[in-house]
Structure 1
Amino acid sequence: MNKFHTDPLIYPLNLSLNVMDMEKMTRFYRDSMGFEILEKKDDVVHLGTSGRRILTLERPENVIQKPPRRSGLYHFAILLPDRKHLGSFINHLRDNNVPLTGGADHEVSEALYLQDPEDNGIEVYADVPDSQWEWDGDQVLMGTDPLDFRGLMELGRDLDWTGMPEGTKLGHMHLHVGDLEEAFSYYRRIGFKRVAQMAGSANFISTGGYHHHIGLNVWNGKGAKAAPENATGLRYYTLAAPDGEAQKKIFEELKQGNYKAEIEDGVLFTEDPSGNRIRIIIA
């Protein structure tokens, strides 16, 4: 599925979380999730796999617990190379008594759900081959069917879990926003198209015909406000643009729409109408 997370598409690359207990959070993402510590200094820890950064943990000054019912992270989703690795990961979680909050067969993917120690949502999934996805015009058909835990665990039985495998990536971001149409108007200027909807409460958007690179929902309430900058949870996430021309075009589109946007040292800093902060870099 590399064709959905590479040039010339715009896609999520990594994210940063504000954390309160750096030691506990680092231990969870290293031992339970299987990320490598790529760099560690002061109050910042970079994690990933095969030298590729996926997650950064940062402890801001005067950090506070995120207030309820705010915009921000619903979950971030880690995409594994295939369902065999997903089965191996399930077996790892079972063997280490790491609790799950759920699992589902979405018809385009098979997914597990869990929470980190500070209640950030995580999805770990494997895509179904895109040749098997069903479309109704420009809308992909996704469901929420029971996950075949037993079949996945059996498939991964002979594959020892030694950490997140090569090829693991940030598959998608799912965000709480205050207004679906307002959010979509913003992301459309970056280049995303709406590929699925859920009863007026969620939109799924992507580039290049992926089932979704970003999910948007109003499940924390319409009009949900942004959390304070020093609150736990999503600090920012990064989108990859294919080249400088694409980045400049996004910048011009956002400025034309009167959205926050500035370029500094090759990084486009912006935020969506619900206050979710984004960095857009040249991949």
Structure 2
Amino acid sequence: MEFHQRPYIYTGEVQLNVTDLAKLTSFYTEIIGFSILEREAQKVVLTADGYTPLLILEQSEVVLTKEPRRTGLYHLALLLPTRADLGAAIKHFSRNHIPLGASDHQVSEALYLSDPDGNGIEIYCDRESGTWHWEDNLVTMSTDPLDARAVVEESGDQEWNGLPTGTVMGHIHLHVADLQKAKGFYEALGFSVVSRYPQALFMSNGNYHHHIAVNTWNGKNAPRPSEGSAGMKAFTLIYPNEKTLQKAVGNVQEIEGDVQQVDAKVIVKDPSGNRIVLRVGK
């Protein structure tokens, strides 16, 4: 996972506001394959390796069902260590009759599904970065049919035993209201555009194919979700050191972005209201 460690800026844990904590916990442990790291009355912290939080589920007193055509989470993306792991995942989802989408993006191979609240999930593996095609600082990506049979064959006799220890939050993909405003904001945080799709931008730090993607597929100027709506509460960006983090904070302040200090955490909001926790990696 070369692009998800120092010296890069990369994606960390995602927080979801959920409608039914028990139901969503069951889905993310039994179907997706997380383990429970911490459990409270209204909060569950999930992990793949037994110590690193990757997903936090929270249920507030009043939760609205996920609202359509709003800004917020398009999907969270779990990056598996190997193609064989992805093959084992395909076998697991097939046996459990889970509806899937699938794509070959040239840089990666991916499965797509949704949780019971309608939050999108991508589970993917990367191709070797040396095989990615770059031209004028842009990486070639596509949406082609996945050769699922070849991926499954790669797994051989390997069976799915939950998310592998090396799983990370590979990237986050967001609905936004305005692409250019989102571009300026995430550039301030340290990311650069590396690919363009119709009504979408893909951005990374350090020539990954993308740590952040933004789109206006829910409509330009899409409204923000209501307070208390099910969906993404926040996601985390992890910085290599305090100097790099503070530079990002200063950049956001220069463009008059929303920056708050809450309980020793730096929290910013992008122009579409997506909430981001900034922290230094351990």
What's the CA shift for 1:167? 0.7
Q: What does residue 97 of structure 1 align with? A: 97
- Structure-2 separation of matches of 1:113 and 1:254: 32
> Partner of 2:47: helix, strand, or coil?
strand
CA RMSD of aligned residues (A): 0.9
Q: What does residue 135 of structure 1 align with? A: 134
The one-letter amino acid paired with 2:250 is E
Please list every run of 5 or more consecutive structure 2 residues that lacks an aligned counterpart in the other structure.
none
- Structure-2 separation of matches of 1:87 and 1:23: 28
- Structure-1 separation of matches of 2:53 and 2:97: 26
What's the CA shift for 1:265? 4.2
The one-letter amino acid paired with 1:103 is A
Contact 1:91/1:157, CA 8 A, preserved across alignment:
no
- Pick from 212, 215, 228: which aligns with 1:214? 212
> Does 1:280 pair with 2:278?
yes
- Structure-2 separation of matches of 1:26 and 1:169: 19
Identity %: 44
The one-letter amino acid paired with 2:25 is T
> Does 1:187 pair with 2:197?
no
- Structure-1 separation of matches of 2:182 and 2:114: 25
Give the 5 Å matches for 1:41-120.
41-50=40-49, 51-100=51-100, 102-120=101-119
Q: What does residue 269 of structure 1 align with? A: 267
Deviations 1:51-104 (A, max 9, x none): 21100000122110122110000001000001000000111111122221x101
What's the CA shift for 1:248? 1.2
Contact 1:229/1:235, CA 8 A, preserved across alignment:
no
Q: What does residue 32 of structure 1 align with? A: 31
- Structure-1 separation of matches of 2:46 and 2:243: 30
Contact 1:269/1:278, CA 8 A, preserved across alignment:
yes
Contact 1:236/1:278, CA 8 A, preserved across alignment:
yes
Contact 1:83/1:126, CA 8 A, preserved across alignment:
yes
TM-score (norm 2): 0.97
Give the 5 Å matches for 1:125-164.
125-164=124-163
> Partner of 2:2: helix, strand, or coil?
helix
Deviations 1:105-126 (A, max 9, x none): 0000000000111111000000
Contact 2:73/2:231, CA 8 A, preserved across alignment:
yes
The one-letter amino acid paired with 1:92 is H
Give the 5 Å matches for 1:163-178.
163-178=162-177
Deviations 1:21-47 (A, max 9, x none): 111110000000000011110110000
Please list every run of 5 or more consecutive structure 1 residues that lacks an aligned counterpart in the other structure.
none
Kindly report structure 1 stretches of 4+ aligned residues shifted beyond 4 Å: none
The one-letter amino acid paired with 1:71 is T
- Structure-2 separation of matches of 1:117 and 1:262: 32
TM-score (norm 1): 0.97
- Structure-2 separation of matches of 1:61 and 1:265: 22
> Partner of 1:64: helix, strand, or coil?
coil
